[in-house]
Amino acid sequence: MTLQRIIEEIENIMDQASSDDDIGKDSILEALTDVVRDAKGTDSLDFNMEDDDHYGSWQETDFSSLSDLEN
């Protein structure tokens, strides 16, 4: 995330917070946290794919018998 993009995001948060009285402290903090995570390159949705056996098990399953259910 570029510095310009970070500034744009923060300005957007400031504009929204100043123009809407219903936006509270928690919403502002959540938005700022998202910007910080994006800037750092960290994401709260960290999918760990260490269990390759589980991934392979459903991928190799033969689902052709499910076509009979359509009739």
DSSP for the chain?
--HHHHHHHHHHHHHHHHH-TT--HHHHHHHHHHHHHHHHT--S-------HHHHHHHHT---GGGGGGG-
Assign 50 a pLDDT band (cuts: 50, 70, 90). Answer: low
Pull the structure tokens for residue 54: 């589980």
Q: What percent of the chain has pLDDT over 70?
A: 65
Alpha carbon distance 1, 34 (integer Å): 12
Question: Domain extents for the chain?
Answer: 1-43
* Per-residue pLDDT at 18: 93
Does this model's pTM top 0.75? My answer is no
Average pLDDT over residues 46-58: 57
* Per-residue pLDDT at 41: 85
Alpha carbon distance 17, 19 (integer Å): 6
